Amino acid sequence: MKIVVFNVRHGANLGDQLIAECLAAELRAADAAATVVTEDLAGRDAPQTGAGTRGMRVAALAILAALPGSLRQMVAGRMLDRLVGRRLMPRRRSLLADADAIVIGGGGIFADSDLNFPKKIAAALRAAAERDLPVAIHAVGVSPHWSRAGRRLFGEGLSAARLSGISVRDDRARDLWNAELSGYTLPAVTIAPDPALTLSAHFPATPTRRGGPTHIGLCLTSPTALRYHGRDTWSARAIEQWYCALAAELTRRGHVVVGFTTGTIEDDRFAAAIETRFVAATGGKGRIAPTCTSAAELVSLIGEFHGLVAHRLHALIVGYAAAIPGLALAWDAKMVGQMEMLGHPDRLLDPKRSTATETADRLDAIIADGVDLDRRDALIAEARASTQALMRTLRAAVTAHG
Strands (E), 41-133: 101-110
Which of 164-168, 178-182, 237-241, 363-367 comes out lowest in average pLDDT? 237-241
Structure confidence at residue 211 (pLDDT): 73
Q: Tell me the CATH number for domain 215-371.
A: 3.40.50.2000
Q: Which band of pLDDT confidence, cut at 50, 70 and 90, is reported for residue 52?
A: very low
The four Cα atoms 151, 157, 162, 163 give a dihedral, to 10 degrees, of: -30
pLDDT tens digits for range 250-288: 999 999 999 999 999 999 999 999 999 999 999 999 999
| Residue pair 164/397 in contact by the 8 Å Cβ criterion | yes
Q: Which band of pLDDT confidence, cut at 50, 70 and 90, is reported for residue 232?
A: low
Q: Rounded to an integer, what distance in angstroms lies between the CA atom of residue 205 and that of residue 138?
A: 26
Q: Tell me the CATH number for domain 2-195+379-401.
A: 3.40.50.2000
CA atoms within 13 A on the CB side of 368: 6
Mean pLDDT across the stretch 202-231? Answer: 82
Among residues 140, 172, 168, 112, the alpha carbon closest in space to that of 339 is found at 172
pLDDT tens digits for range 155-176: 999 999 999 999 999 999 999 9
| Residue pair 282/360 in contact by the 8 Å Cβ criterion | no
Model confidence at 69: pLDDT above 70: no
For 165, the 3-state DSSP assignment is strand
What's the count of helices (H) and strands (E) in the chain, helices before strands?
A: 15, 12
Q: Which band of pLDDT confidence, cut at 50, 70 and 90, is reported for residue 204?
A: confident
| Contact partners, residue 165, CB within 8 Å, separation at least 6 | 136, 137, 138, 187, 190, 390, 393
Among residues 239, 247, 191, the alpha carbon closest in space to that of 216 is found at 247
Instruction: Round the average pLDDT of the chain to a whole number and report it.
Output: 91
| pLDDT > 70: percent of the chain | 90
For 307, the 3-state DSSP assignment is strand
Among residues 151, 142, 45, 49, the alpha carbon closest in space to that of 95 is found at 45
Q: Which band of pLDDT confidence, cut at 50, 70 and 90, is reported for residue 114?
A: confident
Q: Rounded to an integer, what distance in angstroms lies between the CA atom of residue 166 and that of residue 105?
A: 10
Model confidence at 53: pLDDT above 90: no
Residues of the chain with CATH 3.40.50.2000: 2-195+379-401, 215-371
Structure confidence at residue 332 (pLDDT): 75
Q: At what angle do helices 265-281 and 51-66 cross, to 10 degrees?
A: 90
Among residues 332, 329, 334, the alpha carbon closest in space to that of 363 is found at 329
| Residue pair 25/57 in contact by the 8 Å Cβ criterion | no
Type of residue at 349: L
User: Mean pLDDT: which of 44-53, 67-76, 366-375 is highest?
Assistant: 366-375
| Contact partners, residue 263, CB within 8 Å, separation at least 6 | 12, 13, 14, 291, 292, 293, 298
